[in-house]
Amino acid sequence: MKNISILGSTGSIGTNALEIIRELKNEFNVIALTANSNYKFLAKQIKEFKPKYVAIGTEEGYKFLKNEFNNIEIFYGKEGLKEIGKLNETDIILTAVSGAIGLEATIEAIKKEKRIALANKETMVAGGDYINSLLKKYKAEIIPVDSEHSALFQSLLAGKDKEVKNLVLTGSGGTFRGKTIEFLKNVELEDALKHPNWSMGKKITIDSSTLINKGLEVIEAHQLFNIDYDKIKVVIHPQSIIHSMVEFVDNSIVAQMGVPDMKIPIQYAFSYPERLENKIIDRLDFMKYSNLTFEEVDNKVFRGIELAFFAGKIGKSMPIVFNAANEMAVELFLNNKIKFLDIYKIIENEMNNHKTINIDNLNVILEVDREIRDKIRREYL
């Protein structure tokens, strides 16, 4: 039996993970669950999965849960997430919070030498260098949950590191694939929230529509697999059936395929190196997907990938700026404060005005992140 803690259990990834745990209750046990403001949904999860620990992000939620439950330990706020990261009883922590807010709790779990089932890509983008320095000191392991990075992780098992020629990240192209800049000038939020293949949280869905999600995934792949940026390629694959591929030096390509369902990479991160049967996961019907296609990225219209390569290749504090500016821009777009193309403008502006600095410790990461968010908040709110 493996003890699972979930940072962000009330979201898309978190609820998918609980479906798996419900189905495979002889394999997995819930130790801790967390949410930000959705305390009523969290309360329902607590009643069903009976965790020993819980963290909640709002005072209202904290008071409600304290009143509702007297047999669990309830933590509050950002410090509360860190307390969940520190839990000794955890075997595997699933980082399913949205945004770099997951960074500190992830670091605590690394210091406790846990398995991190990492969905929270922003943590790897903003804190990747620091996290990799910690992985040299602590025997923690990161198993990627992000579908492309789970595919790369599985495909890399087919060869040795020195035999890798390229990592090939696939991307759906997002809901506006094939559109012009003129069309994007006036897109509505509700249109940007329609992903062609995946059902996901709002932030990542907007990131998919700008292709900044793919950009974040480029940096995430560099950090997770220690591969140079010039060996990370992106190809548009509108069907999202091939979840990414590894090209080896013999020009052989190994890919991972499956239905676009996050339960597959989540469960794999829990069960690795084994694989488990699970009847709630659909099989791929090849006849339904008899037409798998590939396209070039349209970097002229969708700037997210090139902006990410720019940030990643500079490194140090620049990926922190890229991620923080994007998180703030997406929040502004979700609140109808800016137009779609302003997302690129805000990111570009912050990166152009940033003087890159070395990242010697966690406080520098948090300071750079905070400065960018405060600056954008002052300008737009």
Ligand X SMILES: NC(=O)C1=CN([C@@H]2O[C@H](COP(=O)(O)OP(=O)(O)OC[C@H]3O[C@@H](n4cnc5c(N)ncnc54)[C@H](OP(=O)(O)O)[C@@H]3O)[C@@H](O)[C@H]2O)C=CC1
Contact 60, 40 (CB under 8 A): no
Phi, psi of 177, rounded to the nearest 5 degrees: -55, 130
Minimum Å gap between C-beta 217 and Mn ion is 6
Stretch that binds ligand X, among 119-127, 305-313, 327-335, 356-364 (CB under 6 A): 119-127
For residues 206 and 49, what is the distance between their CA atoms, to the nearest angstrom? Answer: 31
Minimum Å gap between C-beta 198 and ligand DXP is 5
Among 82, 121, 222, 263, binds ligand X (CB under 6 A): 121
For residues 258 and 269, what is the distance between their CA atoms, to the nearest angstrom? Answer: 15
For residues 318 and 310, what is the distance between their CA atoms, to the nearest angstrom? Answer: 9
For residues 238 and 260, what is the distance between their CA atoms, to the nearest angstrom? Answer: 12
Stretch that binds Mn ion, among 140-148, 187-195, 285-293, 343-351 (CB under 5 A): 140-148
Minimum Å gap between C-beta 162 and ligand X is 29
Among 69, 198, 248, 289, binds ligand DXP (CB under 6 A): 198
Q: Is 37 in the site for ligand X (CB under 6 A)?
A: yes
Nearest-Å Rg of the Cα atoms of the chain is 20
Is the Cβ of residue 217 or residue 247 nearer to ligand X in the bound state? 217
Is the Cβ of residue 227 or residue 372 nearer to Mn ion in the bound state? 227
CB atoms inside a 10 Å sphere around CB 93 = 29
Minimum Å gap between C-beta 204 and ligand X is 4
For residues 375 and 381, what is the distance between their CA atoms, to the nearest angstrom? Answer: 10
Binding residues for Mn(2+): 146, 148, 217
Residues in CB range of 221: below 8 A, 6 or more apart: 148, 149, 152, 167, 169, 227, 232
x/- map, 49-78, ligand DXP, by CB under 6 A: ------------------------------
For residues 164 and 280, what is the distance between their CA atoms, to the nearest angstrom? Answer: 34
Among 104, 122, 148, 350, binds Mn ion (CB under 5 A): 148
Residues forming the site for Mn ion (CB under 5 A): 146-148
Residues forming the site for ligand DXP (CB under 6 A): 146-148, 171-172, 174, 198, 208, 213-214, 240, 262
